[in-house]
């Protein structure tokens, strides 16, 4: 597990490194490789060269390159690295959400909150979590990591799984109901059924309206009238969970 820490304040960088070392000691089954940067511009260059890590723990307010700029560069590379922000201001939470950071922590950070953030980040690493959705297709079984599912549509007794990379995977004719087919996904707090024929991944909502949601891909997904209040509530809870 390659983890990068970047903070241009040496004392803060040392505090984060110390907490990560303690976390590693408490989890000897996870192999950590830690790399630290006090020069954000140097890290930015490595990312531009496609030298990417699994998890980034970043400050936001830095003199040469901001943590948000680093996050945007990670996403431009198409990389699904996990990003945690630890910063001195609460003013950039929306910017952090735009780059799909999993946690936004305000300094000083307690060990308990830091450990919880790392736990949460690791839960999104598919290799560790092993969360895959299995779809029966005409070519056989397809295993799809939860993190790669943007939304699923049920139509003509078939499932169409729309992926974050723009791809689509179509199932053969299903015998169970749509609710039964997506039951395992609904156990994951990232997913919610918004319509009798649609399940979406909350992580990839770009805009939430009264009657539809706009996904990162630009797809417009209908929200049924009976689901409107619940969808709005669950989405707000999901967002607040990311930045508590």
**pLDDT value at residue 244:** 56
**pLDDT value at residue 124:** 67
As a dihedral over the C-alpha atoms of residue 43, residue 48, residue 49, residue 52, rounded to 10 degrees, the angle is 60
Per-position pLDDT tens, the chain of length 244 = 899 999 999 999 999 999 999 999 988 767 789 999 999 999 999 999 989 999 999 999 998 899 999 999 999 887 778 999 999 998 998 888 888 898 999 999 999 999 999 988 887 665 445 578 889 898 778 888 888 999 999 999 999 999 998 999 999 999 889 999 999 899 888 999 999 999 999 999 999 998 999 999 999 999 999 999 999 999 988 887 765 5
**pLDDT value at residue 194:** 96
**CA–CA distance, 151 with 204 (Å, rounded to integer):** 9
**pLDDT value at residue 242:** 65
Q: Please, what is the end-to-end C-alpha distance for the chain in angstroms?
A: 25
- The closest of 169, 165, 171 to 217, measured between CA atoms, is 165
pTM of this prediction? 0.56
- Per the listing, tokens 């999993």 go with 102
**pLDDT value at residue 128:** 45
Residues in Cβ contact with 38 at an 8 Å cutoff, skipping those fewer than 6 apart? 6, 7, 8, 9, 10, 13
What order of strands is seen across the sheet that includes strand 33-37? 33-37, 2-6, 55-58, 82-87, 103-106
């Amino acid at each position: 597990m390659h983890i990068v820490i970047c903070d241009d304040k040496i004392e803060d960088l040392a505090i984060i490194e110390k907490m990560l070392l303690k976390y590693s000691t408490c989890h000897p089954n996870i192999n950590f490789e830690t790399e630290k940067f006090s020069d954000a511009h140097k890290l930015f260059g490595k990312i531009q060269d496609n030298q990417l890590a699994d998890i980034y723990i970043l400050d936001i307010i830095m003199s040469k390159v901001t943590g948000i700029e680093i996050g945007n560069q990670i996403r431009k590379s198409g990389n699904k690295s996990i990003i945690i922000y630890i910063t001195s201001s609460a003013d950039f939470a929306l910017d952090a959400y735009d780059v799909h950071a999993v946690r936004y922590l305000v300094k000083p950070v307690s060990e308990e909150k830091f450990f919880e953030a790392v736990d949460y980040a690791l839960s999104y690493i598919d290799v560790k979590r092993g969360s895959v959705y299995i779809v029966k297709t005409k070519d056989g079984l397809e295993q799809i990591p939860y993190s790669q599912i943007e939304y699923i549509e049920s139509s003509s007794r078939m499932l169409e799984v729309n992926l974050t990379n723009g791809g689509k995977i179509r199932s053969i004719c299903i015998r169970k109901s749509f609710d039964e087919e997506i039951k395992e996904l609904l156990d994951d707090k990232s997913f919610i059924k918004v319509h009798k024929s649609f399940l979406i991944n909350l992580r990839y909502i770009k805009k939430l309206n009264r009657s539809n949601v706009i996904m990162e891909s630009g797809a417009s997904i209908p929200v049924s009238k009976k689901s409107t209040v619940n969808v709005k509530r669950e989405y707000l809870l999901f967002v607040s969970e990311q930045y508590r």
